[in-house]
């Protein structure tokens, strides 16, 4: 199906939904009681997506926020409240019906917030050709929209272009655990359902890294639908456009604390737990971002850790038989490859079958934020407990 035809069909579908009240994509979890205090019902009624944008929780007063696929404006209006009078919000959408509703209600929301004028602007445009100036955005949000774009890598490049150095994104979207087959790719109905255009988690995260973002990591994960053995799930991801390391960092060495025994970051640097590695100022800048801070010890002089050091972190599987229950683990950053203490190697976005003991390991505090765990078993599994590796180890 030609790209232009896909784009038009999706736009028509959402325009129709705005007038009929059809529910699109997957359920959201908005606090409607709060939003109703300043956002008109007309906007709330046509709000679609796959999760309340977690990025809104990080907004600081005075920031400039961009919402890709702003629809009726619900997320823009909440961002307007959060950035305050000194901030600015830009919403982009390709559907005239949505833009009309959003623009009509902007002044109503401003009045309800006590603003002398609206600080929200709605622009018509596509996610892969955004009408936004270079390097002007502090925070990019998007709610189950990028999977509707035929060329997602172009969208990611556009996101990087408009983000300020030091800017960030937090977006929710639908991804899959395996490549969507052509019979679904060419199903226009399922494009509007946020299915046909879904990338695998690997493709999605690697596309963002290729665009220039770093520190890409999972914020939230939720299973959604299964079609013909393909699991579709919602992820909320955050990543950064790092500024230049203008000043020398006091940190010259990084030591991996764990619980991973080995990690490889997005720049291809591999760290073994407990061993100090020399780092450059831009490496130090990256490793001070939130997803890394709990895993690394940053120091001015090399510091080696061993199992007796309280800063060393490890999680071993239980010394007991395990069962296979249909679970698969998908590493979701901020590393492209990791290893645990039982010889599993996880590659970002690639499903790896794991036993019950490994599920328990990955659900512990140090591991849990970085993994999406799916169950592919079609029915209840009743296999007997086994020692799942020849040497008695796990998997």
pLDDT digits (tens, 9 = 90+) for 230-251: 999 999 999 999 998 767 788 9
* Averaged pLDDT of the chain: 88
Map out the domains of the chain as residue ranges: 3-240, 249-314, 317-395
Choose the most confident range, by mean pLDDT, from 54-63, 103-112, 224-233. 103-112
**pLDDT the model gives residue 158:** 98
**pLDDT the model gives residue 27:** 46
Looking at the predicted structure, is the pLDDT value of residue 23 above 60? no
| 390 confidence band (pLDDT: 50, 70, 90) | very low
| 394 confidence band (pLDDT: 50, 70, 90) | low
Mean pLDDT of 302-327: 95
| 341 confidence band (pLDDT: 50, 70, 90) | very high
Architecture of the CATH domain 317-395 = 3-Layer(aba) Sandwich (3.40)
pLDDT digits (tens, 9 = 90+) for 247-289: 778 899 999 999 999 999 999 999 999 999 999 999 999 999 9
pLDDT digits (tens, 9 = 90+) for 276-285: 999 999 999 9
Looking at the predicted structure, is the pLDDT value of residue 385 above 80? no
**pLDDT the model gives residue 48:** 63
**pLDDT the model gives residue 122:** 98
CA angle 286, 291, 294 (to 5 degrees): 100
What CATH fold (topology level) applies to the domain 3-240?
Rossmann fold (3.40.50)
pLDDT digits (tens, 9 = 90+) for 190-205: 655 667 788 999 999 9
| 57 confidence band (pLDDT: 50, 70, 90) | confident
């Amino acid at each position: 199906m030609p790209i232009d035809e896909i784009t038009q069909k999706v736009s028509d579908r959402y325009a129709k939904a705005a007038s009929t009240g059809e529910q699109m994509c997957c359920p959201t979890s908005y606090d409607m009681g709060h939003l109703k205090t300043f956002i008109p019902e007309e906007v709330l009624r046509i709000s679609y997506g796959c999760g309340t944008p977690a990025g809104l929780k990080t907004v600081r007063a005075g920031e400039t926020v961009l919402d890709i696929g702003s629809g009726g404006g619900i997320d823009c209006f909440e961002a307007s409240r959060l950035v305050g009078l000194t901030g600015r919000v830009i919403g982009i959408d390709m559907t005239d019906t949505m833009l009309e509703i959003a623009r009509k209600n902007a002044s109503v929301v401003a009045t309800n917030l006590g603003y002398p004028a609206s600080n929200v602007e709605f622009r018509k445009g596509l996610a892969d050709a955004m009408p936004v100036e270079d390097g002007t955005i502090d925070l990019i949000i998007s709610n189950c929209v990028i999977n509707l774009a035929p060329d997602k890598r172009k969208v990611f490049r556009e996101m990087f272009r408009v983000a300020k150095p030091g800017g960030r994104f937090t977006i929710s979207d639908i991804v899959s655990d395996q490549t969507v087959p052509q019979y679904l790719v060419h199903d226009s109905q399922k494009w509007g359902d946020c299915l046909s255009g879904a990338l695998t988690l690997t493709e999605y995260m690697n596309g963002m890294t290729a665009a220039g973002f770093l520190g890409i990591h999972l914020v939230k994960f939720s299973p959604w639908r299964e079609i013909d053995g393909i699991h579709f799930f919602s992820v909320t991801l955050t990543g950064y456009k790092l500024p230049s390391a203008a000043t020398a960092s006091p940190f010259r060495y990084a030591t991996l604390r764990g619980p991973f025994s080995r990690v490889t970051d997005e720049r291809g640097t591999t760290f073994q737990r407990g061993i100090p590695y020399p780092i450059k100022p831009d490496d130090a800048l990256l490793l001070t971002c939130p997803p890394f801070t709990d895993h690394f010890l940053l120091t001015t002089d090399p510091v080696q850790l061993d199992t007796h050091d309280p800063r060393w972190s490890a999680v071993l599987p239980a010394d007991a038989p395990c069962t296979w229950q249909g679970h698969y683990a998908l590493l979701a950053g901020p590393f492209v490859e990791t290893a645990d203490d039982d010889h599993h190697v996880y590659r970002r976005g690639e499903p790896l079958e794991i036993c019950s003991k490994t599920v328990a390991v990955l659900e512990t505090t140090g591991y849990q934020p970085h993994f999406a765990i799916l169950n592919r078993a079609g029915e209840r599994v009743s296999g007997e407990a086994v020692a799942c590796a020849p040497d008695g180890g796990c998997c």
